[in-house]
Amino acid sequence: MDDLLSLGVQLVVVDDGSQDETHRIVQDYRKRYPGRVHLYRHLLNRGVGAALQTGLAAALKRRPRALVTFDSDGQHHAQDLYRVVRPVVMGQADAVIGSRDFQKMPLHKKFGNTVMNLITLTFYGHQVRDSQSGFRAFTPQTTRLMELHSSGYGICSEMVGEVFRHDLRLEEVPITTIFTDYSLSKGTDTKIGLKILIKLIRDVFK
């Protein structure tokens, strides 16, 4: 959070039913940065998709020029924010995905993300390099247009589908990724990818 706040941005933090010190820590940041850190809390863990929907809705109320989603697991570099948000701010894109380097990704994460890229292509008809990256930027208009329903990791593919459903411009820019034991325990792996695939198939045949 310190690295992001040093860039002069406002932060919307969603505490998705955490059982650790997250809530207290973010409250301390609110006191240190009045008016710049906004905390929203789910009393129960509702999933990454639900947290993203809460965060985006809260951010829209602040009338931003652009909205950026940023994972809290330490895998992203704050300094990449300008690279990700620039095409949106410059009017060159309606949505941007910060694409990670799959060559540097551990095998189980690489396989899971590759599976999700194929699922995104199959169900939404468009191919992207990194459909599961949590580092993204959107115009306010794009954010309002997206109809998001997934409460889990399926929201990443759902966002891509919504961007193309509305014939919006999507760009991908390379970002640096920090792989730690903690960040590797989060996000999409093979098991999660298969769960998302099963859910999508069920949705199709409802």
Nearest 5°: CA angle at 102, between 12 and 182? 50
pLDDT value at 183 more than 60 = no
Whole-number pLDDT of residue 115: 84
Residue 138's nearest CA partner among 160, 105, 108 is 160
* pLDDT at residue number 194: 66
Work out the pLDDT band at 198, boundaries 50, 70, 90: low
CATH of range 2-204; options 1.10.3720.10, 3.90.850.10, 3.90.1150.10, 3.90.550.10 = 3.90.550.10
Distance between CA atoms of residues 200 and 18, nearest Å: 27
pLDDT tens column, 15-32: 999 999 999 999 999 999
pLDDT score of 125: 85
For residues 41-65, average pLDDT: 97
Q: What is the domain partition of the chain in residue ranges?
A: 2-204
- As given in the structure block, the two tokens for residue 86 are 């620039």
Chain segment 130-182, per-residue pLDDT in tens: 999 999 999 999 999 999 999 988 899 999 999 999 999 999 999 998 875 64
Average pLDDT, the chain: 89
Work out whether strand 95-99 and strand 170-174 pair parallel, antiparallel, or are unpaired: parallel
